């Protein structure tokens, strides 16, 4: 089955393997008339580019995006937007060794079981490079959200057991440290932890948090295309994500109704909530307050520490994964979570435009066609 | 937008409101030739029926299902299966009061914002009664899984802060207590907690856990239709669910690669994993081991305790939700989580049948048509 | 695979067999706030009801529709609308005979090949009764089009070789004759033809034509979800339809560019076309002029004349189909073609609301949520 | 809305404009293990390449395809296959003139109405170059069909009023003449007709016919995803197609049941039909006999003859479309019809694999995963 397309009205289709010629994405259903340049996309891609800090892989890729279609005179035309990033640093020889065995924590085994064989070079389709297409698509979705005054703030909430302290929360700090943490002190301590783990030839996991402001109330389609359901799918589809929460998330399990319910109040004719345990979503529909989601990201599976595994032919062996790998996935995944979130929000906003007949009549009346 | 259909090849479409004439579901894409009776469905529905214990609402519904189509001579025909459950105990008068204000923690406000008005009787479409269609569909999906030797065990893992102890884990205990806990002692203590909360006119949340055995490796469609991504959507679409985890879930955030990676080993030509932190899914594809998922369920929002809210016209008021409400959603949601899981597994199994050309050729060769 | 759902944003899911308990439809994605009563639906269903003329089957069904969900205080709520029509006259005994052989021109053989067995009672799912769900859905779509000032006129253009004469074209005549022809004289002659064919124990085919006025320009989504492509699918999915044309249709094959191209002209600032060979669709997008489509409908396959066929076990036999069958499908299919057209137009109108960023910004600005 | 993706399990997503940098397609859902080379694709593309005869445009494009992903060691991997064809001969200057007015018979006007502006260079997205992606996808679908022993023969049945004579039908002649007609004499006469029309600065339409052999019975999903319904959509989505027929098509309108019904017979335990008026599809499901479809193609809208039109600002003008245009679309569209047909057949075959529970059980039993 085809699994490389996401979205209903606003849709992305990604393609490409770690060590193939290129990776890319087709963004379809993008409205006409948006100013869009390669630079808009590049800014997003640069946030996930390798080799930016001592904690990320030194693979030599500049990840330059090329816009191939759907733009005319600097504006989107409504036609599909095809984007490509050529793979430069793909020395397949380096990976010939892993062809024969299954790396623990990777999809090598499951790809072989599913497809009968696999493109083993750098993980092939299951490599993190697959997310380039998501991020390029997310950059366009973000341009659309921007015009609707909706903003997304995404950052590392935890690196291993180092969590940010909300008393130190400073959004402008996020891009000041290579770990994308909004708390300078936590970032410093997390850096220490990573150095330690690298010395141990090991890796750590973490948590990414995403705050969405400006989302109008009324977005989400009961009962299966709820806003939270689609956000959960979008974010869980990112490699290494093992959990997803909205609002108080798992903490609701030991809360009470009286604590967890957000009261309503009205002031000057405007209705608002007095708390936001729900994380901005009630009954699967946005309630107009900040949307809060969190994703749990597992530790990098590629570690230099000795691990036990089997070869394709069933021989039990010990392996030390060669090459220089990130000791942490979280920082580079921040923009991927933001991108999948942005794409989902745009798609859900578009889907919500037909909820009421009065607004539909008004829409078509205002149209001179 | 239409949000009441779920699935790609095996599909359910649910309909109905809490206090309308009936609720129901159309199951489409069910293969022909499965023995299916109303009793198969009823067994599932009875697990979510109200009034079964002192902890659930006393609404008087026997929830008898009627099969309307898609069955001939006791077997599925391949045509859509329509099922209906008539609402009996729907005294709309009881609910006329809540028409005017927004119940905290409910979807009253968001429905009004989305649709301009709402069917306020018992929560209308956002009522828990909506899940009857899911469970009827899940019963059919479970029949299919049964024939493929795949089984799902679902239970309450936590009620408030009372968690099961895996040392006491006893599957046969699950149906012995009205809280569906596999640990007798935990069930007793959870019962005490619920009595306490009821006395306080309050409610609690909890966690549902789901274990899937027998799933073949190779199921899940990278990169967006991954098995975990679809499970996350399916379960998050259930009202009151605020978080979803696979395998170690959020605990991976403070784990290390060396701890979190599941090693592979081979014995007598059979490959297996030496641990299951991944919860049976690697790279979004089942790896042949047990699939483990957990859902966080919020406390019942309808509580008798005084809460602050607003009327539709913006007046600030205090409310005490009348009527007798469950102090806990978890037990009745167990079968809903199982149903959404079963439907997702069937759909993903069907989608995985075209992964390899050799198997497709074999399939059509074996067919005498 | 599930094939009983049609549409992307505005969606119908039909179910039911000829001799099951009932047939029905779930309409999902219907905007909130539309006044809708059972009478609105019944008017449409009455146009396809059997037993209305001497040319249609005398099966005794009043086809009373019941609205089960999605309506509150007389208005659509945005939730799925479930509708049911109970089968009354279903004496299965009458059909036991055809269980053993394949009726020529019917789907008996293909259903057996596909599903391994079939519900043979009255054709089961492949019966014309399946279209009740389509028509009930079409009635709702028509209510939406009405509010957008879009109208559809559908009629029999040809019954066998008797074609209407456009010089005699009179829309108000359509409902004056049981053949739904807009030309009185043609209807009289067609009636004679049918009497003749009934005497010969035979049947005839015909052509249905559909004219759509008021459709704004700009509807249709290149390159696969074009307006004409979706209309073609919608209409071709109706049993007995074997061909579909837009505008000049097959006649374009022997036309020239200079004849077939519709010129543009402008008057008082309004652009219009000077001809309409294109049938209102250019490049798969509505051009603002009248949309014209035609469907070729085959003769009723159930005829009393002797035919040769085989039994399920492969015995060659001669059969005379018993029972009183319509000698013509066309008149009762008129409202089915109109319904599938209406559903498609609504869905495509909704899909077209996100073509331009400026209109999307305006839409969300006008929204006070 | 996104309209550039086609298919459910086997899916293509096309992109690109006539005078953009490139055109391309992503094929998703292609099973793993198929030998596939650029040459396999190129053979298909060469059948629609411009400049191959005196009747087609002299645009200088060699249309060389490049495979970018989804192939490893010469075989499909199950991951999306991205293909690109760079546009070489795209002198935008040539087209600056048509920016200001609407060419009759083209989509210039409807694109402007839909999107607010358009990429006017060579028709942009509405150009025939868009079909390159379809044909590249069709080449892959054809490889799959080949392995299932299903073949498609497609050819020009009529060029203007010159129809092939089935007494002269010779499949091997199809590739011997630049008009792809299976009747040498008709091809010669059609060539004369085209010379005549070119002299008159005019163009003609025609009919494409498609014969499918080897399709198993049982393919097609009632009631909306019928085989004929999907073929109708697939073929009608091709630019310039204005009608589509299955089997006897529009001729059924003046046929009788006794003539139109295909009788069944059995010989040596094998059931077959004694005629094929149905064109291989009964009740929307393949019946095992040859599938026959026809598409009506309009005359090339770009003609040098003087035509009346308007400018974007509403000025009435006369135009003579400059440049050398094909006087006939049919021959180059033959492979496009074949491609859309092949893609549809593969998708429907895959969808039909879950019709029966017994076959599903067998499939998963045979699987060692």
pLDDT tens-digit series, residues B33-62: 999 999 999 999 999 887 666 666 656 678
B159 touches B328 (CB < 8 A): yes
| Cα separation of the two ends of chain D | 39
D188 contacts: CB under 8 Å, gap ≥ 6: none
Phi, psi (rounded to 5 degrees) for D258: -65, -30
Per-residue pLDDT, B369: 44
Out of C31, C354, C359, the one facing A367 most closely (by C-beta) is C359
Q: For chain C, give the mean pLDDT.
A: 94
Would you call B2 an interface residue with chain D, using a CB distance cutoff of 8 Å? no
Closest CB from A233, A282, A299 relative to B260: A299
Helix (H, G, I), strand (E, B) or coil at C150: coil
C-beta of residue A220 within 8 angstroms of C-beta of residue A175 = no
Q: What is the mean pLDDT of chain D?
A: 94
- Mutate: best of B79, B98, B118, partner C, most C CBs <10 A: B79
Q: Does A265 touch chain B (CB under 8 A)?
A: yes
* Nearest alpha-carbon partner for D292 in D224, D241, D222, D227: D227
pLDDT computed for residue B314 by the predictor: 93
Longest Cα–Cα distance of chain B, Å, equals 73
Measure CB to CB from residue D283 to each of C1, C107, C308 and give the nearest one: C107
On the question of pLDDT at C369 being above 50, the answer is no
**Length in residues, chain C:** 369
Residues sharing a CB contact under 8 Å with residue A124, sequence separation 6 or more, in sequence order:
A17, A18, A19, A20, A111, A118, D72, D77, D79
| Burial class, B345, CB count within 10 angstroms (exposed 0-12 / middle 13-18 / buried 19+) | buried
Whether D24 contacts chain A with CB within 8 A? yes
D199 CB near a chain A CB, below 8 Å? no
pLDDT at D369 over 50: no
State the CB neighbour count (10 A cutoff) for residue B185: 13
Residue that is written with structure tokens 């005017």 in the block: B100
pLDDT for residue B368 is more than 60: no
Instruction: Establish if A270 touches chain C: CB-CB under 8 angstroms.
Output: no
Query: Are A156 and A293 within 8 A, CB to CB?
Result: no
Contacts of A29 in chain C (CB under 8 A): 354
Query: Which ipTM score applies to this complex?
Result: 0.97
Distance from CA of B112 to the nearest CA of C (A): 10
The yes-or-no verdict on residue B359 having pLDDT over 70 is: yes
What confidence score (pLDDT) does residue A88 get?
86
From residue D125, give the alpha-carbon distance in Å to each of B3, B182, D28, D328, D342: 31, 60, 21, 20, 23
Contacts D144 to A, Cβ<8 Å: none
Q: What is the percentage of chain C residues whose pLDDT exceeds 70?
A: 94
Q: What is the 3-state secondary structure of A246-311?
A: ECCHHHHHHCEHHHHCCCEEEECCEEEECCCCCCCEECCEECCCCEEEEEEECCCCCCCCCEEEEE
Q: Measured between alpha carbons, how far is B240 from B130 in angstroms, rounded to an integer? A: 13
3-state SS class at C135: helix
What distance separates the 2 farthest-apart alpha carbons in chain C? 72
- CA-wise closest residue to C186 among C154, C159, C155, C153: C159
Q: Is D86's Cβ below 8 Å from some Cβ in A?
A: no
Across the interface, whether the CB atoms of A245 and B243 are under 8 A apart is answered yes
| Region of residue A66 (phi > 0: left; psi between -120 and 50: alpha; otherwise: beta) | beta
- A199-203: long-range contacts, CB 8 A cutoff, minimum separation 24: A200/A305, A201/A303, A201/A304, A201/A305, A201/A320, A202/A299, A202/A303, A202/A305, A202/A327, A202/B256, A202/B257, A202/B258, A203/A299, A203/A300, A203/A301, A203/A302, A203/A303, A203/A325, A203/A326, A203/A327, A203/A328, A203/B256, A203/B257, A203/B258
Mean pLDDT confidence for D141-170 = 98
Query: How far is residue A242 CA from its own chain's centroid?
Result: 13
Residue A165: strand, helix, or coil: coil
In eight-state DSSP terms, residue A216 is: P
CB-based burial label for B365 (10 Å; 0-12, 13-18, 19+): exposed
Which H or E element spans position C28? Answer: strand C22-28
Range from B151-165, B211-225, C88-102 carrying the lowest mean pLDDT: C88-102
Neighboring chain A residues of B271 at a CB cutoff of 8 Å: 102, 109, 310, 314
Q: For residues B112 and A283, is the Cβ–Cβ distance under 8 A?
A: no
Establish if D117 touches chain A: CB-CB under 8 angstroms: yes
More confident position, C83 or D61: C83
pLDDT per position as a tens digit, D325-360: 889 999 999 999 999 999 999 999 999 999 999 999
**Separation of alpha carbons B120 and B203, rounded Å:** 22
Question: Is B277's Cβ below 8 Å from some Cβ in C?
Answer: no
> According to the model, what pLDDT value does residue C49 have?
80
CB contact under 8 A, D314 and C266: yes
Q: Which of residues 89-108 of A touch B (CB under 8 A)?
A: 102, 104-107
Residue A178, pLDDT score: 94
Which of C4, C223, C232 is nearest residue D223 as measured by Cβ atoms? C4
Q: Are B152 and B212 in contact (CB under 8 A)?
A: yes
The parts of chain A modelled with pLDDT lower than 70 are 51-53, 55-60, 90-96, 324, 366-369
| Residues of chain A found within 8 Å of residue C5, distances taken between Cβ atoms | none
Residue ranges of the alpha helices (H) in C247-295? 257-260
**Residue among D217, D356, D366 whose CB faces B33 most closely:** D356
pLDDT band for position D366 (50/70/90)? low
Q: Is A331 helix (H, G, I), strand (E, B) or coil?
A: helix
Residue D188 has pLDDT above 80, yes or no: yes
User: Which residue of chain D is at minimal alpha-carbon distance from A29?
Assistant: D2
* Chain D interface, best mutation among A6, A80, A120, A136, by max D CB count within 10 A: A80
Greater confidence, D95 or B254? Answer: B254
Residue C53 — φ and ψ, nearest 5°? -145, 175
Q: What pLDDT band is residue B367 in, cutting at 50, 70 and 90? A: low
User: Token pair of C305, please?
Assistant: 């004349």
- Residue D264, H or E segment: strand D264-267
Q: Given A5, A68, A78, which is nearest D28 (Cβ)?
A: A5
CA distance D76 to D70: 6
Single out the residue of A102, B283, D102, D254 nearest to residue C262, CA to CA. D102
**Chain C residues with beta carbon closer than 8 angstroms to that of B124:** 72, 77, 79
Those residues with Cβ within 8 angstroms of residue C146's Cβ, 6 or more apart along the chain or in another chain: none
The pLDDT of residue C59: 65
pLDDT of residue A366: 64
Q: Which candidate, B339, B42, B331, places its Cα nearest to that of B175?
A: B331
Reduced 3-state DSSP string for D60-127: CCCCCEEECCCEECCEECCCCEEEEEECCCCCHHHHHHHHCECCCCCCHHHHHHHHCCCCCHHHHHHC
Query: Residue D61's pLDDT is what?
Result: 76
- Alpha carbons A61 and A49: distance in angstroms, whole number: 7
| Cα atoms in the 13 Å half-sphere on the side-chain side of A195 | 6
Cα dist from A98 to A94, A102, A106, B260, B298, whole Å:
9, 7, 11, 20, 45
């Amino acid at each position: 089955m085809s699994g490389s397309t996401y979205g209903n009205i606003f849709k992305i289709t990604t393609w490409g393997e770690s060590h193939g010629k290129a990776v890319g994405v087709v963004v379809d259903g993008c409205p006409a008339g948006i100013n869009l340049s390669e630079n808009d996309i590049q800014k997003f891609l640069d946030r996930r580019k390798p080799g930016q800090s001592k904690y990320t892989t030194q693979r030599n890729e500049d990840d330059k995006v090329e816009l191939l279609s759907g733009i005319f005179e600097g504006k989107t035309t409504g036609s599909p937007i095809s984007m490509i990033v050529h793979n430069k640093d793909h020395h397949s020889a380096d990976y010939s060794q892993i062809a024969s065995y299954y790396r623990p924590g990777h999809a090598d085994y499951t790809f072989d079981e599913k497809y009968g064989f696999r493109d083993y070079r750098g993980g092939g389709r299951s490599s993190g490079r697959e997310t380039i297409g998501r991020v390029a698509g997310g950059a366009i979705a973000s341009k659309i959200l921007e015009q609707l005054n909706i903003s997304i703030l995404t950052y590392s909430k935890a690196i291993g057991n180092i969590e940010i302290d909300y008393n130190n929360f400073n959004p402008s700090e996020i891009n000041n440290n290579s770990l994308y943490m909004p708390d300078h002190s936590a970032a410093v301590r997390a850096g220490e932890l990573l150095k330690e783990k690298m010395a141990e030839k090991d890796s750590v996991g973490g948590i990414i948090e995403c705050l969405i402001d400006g989302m109008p109330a009324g977005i989400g389609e009961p009962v299966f295309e709820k806003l939270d359901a689609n956000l959960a799918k979008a974010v869980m589809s990112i490699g290494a994500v093992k959990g997803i929460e909205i609002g108080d998330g798992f903490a609701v399990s030991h809360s009470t109704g009286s604590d967890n319910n957000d009261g309503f109040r009205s002031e000057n004719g405007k209705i608002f909530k007095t708390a936001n345990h729900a994380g901005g979503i009630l009954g699967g529909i946005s309630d107009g307050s900040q949307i809060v989601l969190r994703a749990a990201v597992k530790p990098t599976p590629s570690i230099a520490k000795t691990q036990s595994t089997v070869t394709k032919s069933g021989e039990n062996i010990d392996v030390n994964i060669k090459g220089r790998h990130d000791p942490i996935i979280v920082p580079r995944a921040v923009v991927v979570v933001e991108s999948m979130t942005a794409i989902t929000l745009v798609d859900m906003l578009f889907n919500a435009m037909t909820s009421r007949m009065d607004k539909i009549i008004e829409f078509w009346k205002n149209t001179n066609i």
